[in-house]
Chain A
Amino acid sequence: MKNKLITACVLASATLFASGTYAADQVRVALLVKALGIGFFEAAYRGAEEAKKELGDVEIIYTGPTSTTAEGQIEIINSLIAQRVDAIAVSANDADALVPSLKKAQQRGIKVISWDSGVGKEGRQVHLNPSSNSLIGEMNVQLAADAIKAKGKKSGTFAILSATPTSTNQNIWIGEMKKSLSKFPNLKLVDTVYGDDLADKSFREATALIKNHPDLDVIVAPTTVGILAAAQAVSDLGLTGKVYVTGLGLPSELAGHVHSGAIHSFAIWNPIDLGYSATMLAYNLVKGKGTKTEIPMGRMGTLELDKNGDGAMAKPFIYDASNVDEFSSIF
């Protein structure tokens, strides 16, 4: 009996030891997203899994709060520090609030990169933008111009429906949109409103936009919740084809509204590529590959970093009735 017990103890400690060494071989990358249950981030996770297949020695920890709050992310960062992951790749709900806990993570030897929605410079080593902000801003205005052209008009007006007034990436894109207006002399921006990424508030704001600006041609919503709510509001008001909705969204979510005619075209980078690149970057940082100005990211080529450690992955891609169905099955 006693012997049996000793054997069991030895076996148990052996397995523990074995699993310990096994875990040490694996590079543990935490993909921390704004909130769980958002299609965009689920697709990014698929990309991370692709990177894992390619690399072999990576373990992906896909995590995020249940709603898009900085507090929720801070709690998770603290638990990731306790778990001693090798790298954290975060898409932040707040640029500043996460910095202290991410600093702590870096002090413990964890490599930190931000992607999609960035954090302050002290909080991370690298920030991966899905595209460059100026390209995204210009693309959104280009989409508005395309929609006005689709109406058969030479010039027209558009309004912006954003997420929260404090959203980091939204505000940068809106700034870039305003900058690129000089390239589109026939376009006029009449209003910017905020739907807080809540379906009901976005719906109400979109309805109010149409009521406040009777000659409005296009609503540009650079947010997935906003573009859906605005498209639904246009459909419900029976203004399909009179007011076009465009912006950034996912093919799987917008296919219906593209076919109904509420949306002429919209754009998005490929979130699968984004999750893939973020994972590759985190892995290469842990392995000590790359320099201050260049880090390889597998099949997506090389990320060129500026002096702030920011880099852009690729240019956003336009989806319309001709190709939306082909992509809606993917993400």
Chain B
Amino acid sequence: MLKRLIYSREGVLSIIVLAMFFGVGVISPDFISLSNSVSIFNDTSILIMLALGQMLVILTRCIDLSVAANVAFTGMFVAMVNQYFPELHMSLLIFLSLFIGALLGAINGLFVWLLKVPSIVITLGTMSIYRGATFLLSDGAWVNSHQMSESFIGLPRYEILSMPVLGWMAVAAIILFFWAMKFSVWGRNFYSAGGNPMAAFYSGVNVGKVQFYAFLVSGTLSGLCGYLWVSRFAVAYVDVANGFELQVIAACVIGGVSIVGGLGTVVGCVIGALFIGVVNNALPIIGVSPFWQMAISGLVIIIAVIANATSGKDKARIILRNPNANDEIRAN
């Protein structure tokens, strides 16, 4: 059991993350305190949620580059609704953010499902379109903290058991995904659709539809994160979460989600996101030169991926039979 844990992807990655975490603790003891650990998790919450959505998309052999633009658009949308109708109840705004996000995700999904366009092309396009739409929506103006209602800013900050709601939302998403991917047919279909689309097709799984659902979920989560982002930083503007889609994809890749589809776990994905979260929070504490920061971030990502690739041979998918098998057949 223990051996299996150590040799699994998630096990190796957890060890790396913990080593980094305590390594920083040697330099700055406060870093590994409980309150700081909670604040790191809270800070990484949005990344975790987006990475879980992205994981579904990558499982089905697609990629969603429009997540950060979706965050920016939905965030701006709900911030402006809040600005003009401050008496609207928060539950309505949350619902609105989920709905707008789902809509943007569905646009990606429909293109992929019905027109069979490569997702990287579609989402590269919608990434620019959604950012552009954010600009058109706001006319370039910012929505600032004093233009947001108290409950709009306060909700993700409200503490339950000394962790903000933002963090609890990530916990809820993790539990929900863990259950769905392990025990529901709907969740298992993502693996089959990406692992072996042909086999999935013959066993009655509509691969295109599964890909559509992946984009729908990714979009919905992006929408929710849109609200959470503008609320947490108490400002909405066009450049919100600029370039964040790359961090989301990096979190998936570090977490062992295979870029060719069909392989990846919720636990790995979460640890991958936490890995980036720990690096992001550790770098300012250690006081690394800003010129080194990017290089170090990139380097640790590559190290993590290499460690991942060399740990735990993937026995789940035999694409080619043992090459020697053919020789045996010939010999007979």
Contact = CB atoms under 8 A, between A and B. Distances in A.
Contacts of B237: 37-39
Contacts of B140: 36-39, 41-42
Interface in A43-58: none
B235 A199 contact: yes
Interface stretch (A15-23, A106-114, A124-132, A228-236): A228-236
Interface in A24-81: 35-39, 41-42, 66-68
Interface in B140-154: 140-142, 144-147
A194 B281 contact: no
A148 B284 CA distance: 25
B233 A199 contact: yes
B242 interface: yes
A205 interface: yes
Contact of A204 (B43, B135, B145, B157): B43
Contact of B290 (A41, A194, A254): A194
A232 B240 CA distance: 15
Given A200-B233, A208-B285, A232-B233, A253 B238 contact: no
B89 to A, nearest CB: 22
B233 A203 contact: yes
B298 interface: no
B235 A36 contact: no
A257 interface: yes
A211 B244 CA distance: 25
A168 interface: no
A255 B128 CA distance: 31
B contact patch SS: helix
Interface size class of A (residues with CB under 8 A): 35 or more
A208 B284 contact: yes
Interface string A116-135: 00000000000000000000
Given A229-B233, A256-B146, A36 B285 contact: no
Given A36-B135, A211-B30, A205 B284 contact: yes
A316 B30 CA distance: 40
A contact patch SS: helix
A193 interface: yes
Nearest to B72: A37
B240 A199 contact: yes
A252 interface: yes
Nearest to A66: B131
Contact of A211 (B147, B242, B285, B291): B285
B239 interface: yes
The residue among B241, B243, B284, B285 with the most chain A CB atoms within 10 A of its own CB is B284
Nearest to B69: A66
B258 interface: no
A299 interface: no
Given A66-B128, A232-B233, A253 B284 contact: no
Nearest to B139: A42
A212 interface: yes
A236 B166 CA distance: 13
A165 interface: yes
Contacts, number: 93
A194 B132 CA distance: 27
B166 to A, nearest CB: 11
Contacts of B142: 39, 252-253
A259 interface: yes
A198 interface: yes
Contacts of A38: 140, 237, 239
B285 A37 contact: no
Contacts of B323: none
B93 interface: no
Contacts of A164: 290
Contact of B144 (A35, A211, A229, A253): A253
Interface string B267-297: 0000000000000110011010011000000
Contacts of A228: 144-145, 233-235
B109 to A, nearest CB: 24
Nearest to A166: B291
Contact of A37 (B30, B135, B234, B287): B135
B83 interface: no
A200 B228 CA distance: 12
The residue among B147, B241, B242, B244 with the most chain A CB atoms within 10 A of its own CB is B242
B206 interface: no
B311 interface: no
B233 A259 contact: no
B128 to A, nearest CB: 7
Given A66-B238, A67-B239, A256 B287 contact: no
Interface in A206-230: 207-209, 211-212, 228-229
Contacts of B39: 207
Interface in A126-166: 164-165
Interface string B137-179: 0101110111100000000010000000000000000000000
Interface in A171-221: 191, 193-194, 197-201, 203-205, 207-209, 211-212
Contacts of B135: 36-37, 66
Given A203-B233, A232-B233, A198 B242 contact: yes
In the A-B complex, the 6 residue pairs with the closest CB atoms? A256-B146, A37-B238, A208-B284, A256-B145, A37-B140, A194-B290
8 contacts: A39-B142, A67-B239, A193-B290, A198-B242, A252-B142, A255-B144, A256-B147, A256-B234
Given A200-B233, A203-B233, 19 more contacts: A36-B238, A37-B140, A37-B239, A39-B140, A39-B237, A42-B141, A66-B131, A66-B132, A66-B135, A67-B242, A165-B290, A197-B239, A201-B280, A204-B281, A229-B233, A232-B145, A236-B157, A254-B144, A256-B147
